[in-house]
Structure 1
Amino acid sequence: MIQKLGEICDFHSGNAWKSSKFKDKGIPIIRINNMKPNATDFKYWDWDEPYDPKFFVEEGDILVSLSGTIKTYKWVGEKALLNQRIVRVTAKENINIDWVYYQLSNVIVRISDKGKNAVIKNVSVTELKKYKVDVPDLPTQNKIVSLLDKASALVQKREKSIALLDELLRAQFLKMFGDPVFNPKGWEMMPISKVINEMKGGWSIGGENRSLKENEIGVLKISAVTSGIFKENEFKAVSKDKIKRQLVFPKKGDLLFSRANTKEMVGSTCLVPKDYDYLFLPDKLWKLIPNKDLINTVFLKPVLSNKGVRMEISKLATGTGGSMKNISKAKLNKMEVIVPPIELQNQFESIYHNIQGQKESLTQSKTALEHLFNSLIQESFKGKIETPKEEVKKKDSIMSEIKKQEGEKVDITNLDLATYLGIPDEITSTQEKWIFDLMSLDEFYQFLLKDNFTKEELFTLQDIEEKLHHFFYHGGDMDFPNASWQQIIFKFLEAKPPLLEQIFEEETATVKLKLTDETFKA
């Protein structure tokens, strides 16, 4: 049945909160830039200030941004307040809200496609409400959601693996060099002017937000650097005929620095993964050319990305405008950074490239899965439209991947955690406490259980506590997190299928625990 979105769901708009009343703590306010996993840059509303409860957002609520990057997002944070230009979507009777979530994602793609090469930066609630979609019965909606959830889980699994590698690299840096602001290891401090030979700026020229055509070249936008990862698609197309001066091209290994940005983003850096002869730097981006006898750019990147260092850079930045700030070469040159022995920096570079290689492999897999997932979304909402053969192949491909993943769990009986997660030998062989960086993972506790108890053994929560205490105290010389491990154990009991089962022992009249076969699979 063809219906308008406004007939199957309701759109609840956010509020225009007064920025003058923002606080450093209180109720988080969800702005468009907070619609992402692990967002941290929140503004807050004082609990004592008046607000309407209708603007509250709970975990699991469906959100749609109406400006900037138009997208859907399932809120995964704490209870928060909704800002303007974001809507919360609720489903009406006999409509699966998760089906609405996927349908909205598809609608946004279709709206963007109407713009062809133009970038769609705004969409109205009225436009969304009027958009017509084919609405199947509830059982069919549920089947579509089940399929897309499984496909989405594959993408999320890759994302989790990539995030783990990022966290391992961050932890490795801190172990080798300590916090670059507090400098607990007492490294020599030097001004940027001594470790950087040149800050090579680019050239800015107006361009168009679209793909390159013949005889065109791309001028990078500062958003190519802002995330900390080089984004080669963030550029504006410029005719080569307009280029009248020498350009600065990003090359493999270059460390780029954003000298102009918002207060929070000024000083953003990224490493360039390869040579780009069709892109050039604008004047707001610098290429930092190092004194290679003193500094390694792979080491300098996490130094400049450190939160404390970024705060120092932000303080040095100036600007009369409320949004854009600039930092001069003179001011940046005076800022001091830690300079450990170059041999140690080079050792870190080796670890970085090892981990980066694994990340690239996972990222390629994630990109392929995302493409297939998006194709599957479009296929799911095409209704009676005939599907092209190439799209059928894509759907078959992701369906095959889903089925394979559903039935494919690794037997971890004889595996250790490092082997299972693919952690580089450079870390496990040189850092004896590396494993404690993984305490937030469920797998951390799953491996502890299977390595400390047998399949036939009955044990109590107290037995687990004693094993954990011994592991943390003797292996890490640290106290173990009481609250966390108990939550994980209950999670294992409630899992489907469960990793632990409860057994009533008549001899002692107590309930004990026992590992299931699932404990030895991951």
Structure 2
Amino acid sequence: MSEDLPAGWQSRSLSSLGEYSNGYAFSKRHWAEHGLPIVRIAQITGTQGVEDRYPGLLPSGFRITDGDLIFSWSGTLSVVKWQGGPAWLNQHLFKVTPSEDVDRRLLFHVLRASVAEMEKRTHGSTMKHIKRSELEEFSAALPLCGQEQAQIAEILDTLDTAIHGTEALIAKLKAVKQGLLHDLLTRGIDANGEVRPPQSEAPDLYKSSLLGWIPCDWEAGPLQLWLSDKPKNGYSPKEAEEWTGCQMLGLGCLTGVGFEPNQLKNAPFADARLDSVMLSDGDLLMSRANTRQLVGLVGVYSDVGTPCGYPDLMMRLKPTVETSAQYLQFVLRSPMLRRQIQAHAVGTSESMVKISGRIVRDLVVAMPDRQEQARILDALSAASTNLDSESKAVSALRDLKFGVMDDLLTGRVRVTPLLDAATA
């Protein structure tokens, strides 16, 4: 026994902790519309629903049910507790049956903690995998006492439950925010602070426009009506090799959710052409070249702490004083405007298409007045605050679990005092 382990603990190879049974090599001739589902890696990772079934009989070792541990060892390394009901396991997946002296729930956490180390050892140019024999080379520490194993698993399960619950809430909040955004950009908020009812319920509140029904107080027309100047392209000098005190944005700073300072470059020293593309906090930017799916992404620039310019593949939009840049970015990110942008983008290759200032100015938008824009932004801000709060909470829970796992799965922190208290 290692001197680094506490009394009553042992270090064991992963292969000794259970039996790893590979799934069945199903082929097209086995597929049917009826029978138990065939579970592949896509179903394990949740990227795809069940597509094929097998109605026949196979040895029980290939059958899985709720609670079984599944180890994806080829293509994607992953460990899950299967919760999809009775099914057949496909090849490239192990069903893991714990050894008699190993708690099933603890083994799940041990294997998941081991995956990160396994990924460093994966091999294969197009299909990375871990051989069954290599599991002998990976080890884990665990207590001999079954009660202590169960107590550790219980603590980690509790943290997992809290994480999954918060993740589900985040997904729900995102869906609610997306639905709210659609309602706000098509129905708006009236002077009483209420979202207007749909046109079908209150036809007198709406009028027909180029974009369909819009509130009577709104205007619809080309975007140029709400811009004080033509969109202006940026400038892309050669990146400096060292810090100069001035930076430039990379195209990656415009994302699907707005501006993110995640791709900053060193601007050259004393380049006079940079003066005309230096940014101010609150400037509205749009990408003018990218793939068809990404062209026309928008974001409101937030000061990065140093003088910063924008590149040639972006353009700066200047809203009128009656138009909020923050509000306009939501309009330009809406599905209706994204479809317009993608439809008008030009290029011979889908890997790089472009939009011009003229295309941008001619985009058809529907706009409320500045006061209603502010009310809509307040409503969106409240939704974002709730979402940000839960996102921070789940991040904190993940950090907590990482620390707790490191303590509990090494024996650095013991749960035996808990067991003693329970016995007493």
TM-score with structure 1 setting the length: 0.48
Matched, 1:339 2:370: no
Tell me, in whole angstroms, the C-alpha distance in 2 between the residues paired with 1:340 and 1:150.
48
After superposition, the C-alpha distances for 1:461-492 in whole angstroms (9 at most, x for unaligned) are: xxxxxxxxxxxxxxxxxxxxxxxxxxxxxxxx
1:240/1:312 CA distance change after superposition, 3 Å: closer
Return the structure number with greater relative CO, CA threshold 8 A, min gap 6: 2
Residue 106 of structure 1 corresponds to which residue in structure 2? 113
Matched, 1:145 2:153: yes
Secondary structure of the residue aligned to 2:330 is helix
Q: 1:356 aligns with which of 380, 384, 406?
A: 384
Matches within 5 A, 1:162-311: 162-178=170-186, 182-185=211-214, 187-196=218-227, 197=229, 198=231, 201=234, 203=236, 225-228=254-257, 230-232=259-261, 234-235=262-263, 246=274, 253-271=282-300, 274-277=302-305, 283=311, 286=314, 288-311=316-339
Tell me, in whole angstroms, the C-alpha distance in 1 between the residues paired with 2:83 and 2:246.
40
Shift in Å, 1:346: 1.7
Q: CA RMSD in A?
A: 6.0
Residue 138 of structure 2 corresponds to which residue in structure 1? 132
Contact 1:259 1:286 in 2 (8 A): yes
Tell me, in whole angstroms, the C-alpha distance in 1 between the residues paired with 2:312 and 2:287.
6
Tell me, in whole angstroms, the C-alpha distance in 2 between the residues paired with 1:343 and 1:202.
35
Tell me, in whole angstroms, the C-alpha distance in 1 between the residues paired with 2:290 and 2:25.
27
After superposition, the C-alpha distances for 1:220-244 in whole angstroms (9 at most, x for unaligned) are: 6655544526555x437x5677896
Tell me, in whole angstroms, the C-alpha distance in 1 between the residues paired with 2:42 and 2:386.
33
Tell me, in whole angstroms, the C-alpha distance in 2 between the residues paired with 1:300 and 1:275.
19
TM-score with structure 2 setting the length: 0.57
Residue 92 of structure 1 corresponds to which residue in structure 2? 97
Tell me, in whole angstroms, the C-alpha distance in 1 between the residues paired with 2:306 and 2:95.
45
Tell me, in whole angstroms, the C-alpha distance in 2 between the residues paired with 1:7 and 1:133.
9
Contact 1:304 1:310 in 2 (8 A): yes
Tell me, in whole angstroms, the C-alpha distance in 2 between the residues paired with 1:74 and 1:350.
42
After superposition, the C-alpha distances for 1:391-439 in whole angstroms (9 at most, x for unaligned) are: x9xx9xxx9xxxxxxxxxxxxxxxxxxxxxxxxxxxxxxxxxxxxxxxx
Tell me, in whole angstroms, the C-alpha distance in 1 between the residues paired with 2:64 and 2:353.
35
Contact 1:317 1:325 in 2 (8 A): no
Give, as a single letter, the amino acid of the residue that structure 2 aligns with 1:2. Answer: R
The share of aligned pairs that are identical, in percent, is 16
Shift in Å, 1:328: 1.7
Shift in Å, 1:134: 0.7
Select the structure that is richer in helix.
Answer: 1
Residue 5 of structure 2 corresponds to which residue in structure 1? none
Residue 328 of structure 1 corresponds to which residue in structure 2? 355
Residue 163 of structure 2 corresponds to which residue in structure 1? 155
Residue 404 of structure 2 corresponds to which residue in structure 1? 376
Paired residues in the alignment total 353
1:293/1:239 CA distance change after superposition, 3 Å: closer
After superposition, the C-alpha distances for 1:313-332 in whole angstroms (9 at most, x for unaligned) are: 3333345556x343322434
Residue 12 of structure 2 corresponds to which residue in structure 1? 2
Tell me, in whole angstroms, the C-alpha distance in 1 between the residues paired with 2:126 and 2:237.
26
Shift in Å, 1:167: 4.2
Residue 519 of structure 1 corresponds to which residue in structure 2? none
Of structures 1 and 2, the larger Rg is shown by: 2
Residue 33 of structure 2 corresponds to which residue in structure 1? none
1:113/1:269 CA distance change after superposition, 3 Å: farther
Shift in Å, 1:147: 1.7
Structure 1 unpaired stretches of 5+: 16-26, 115-120, 400-522
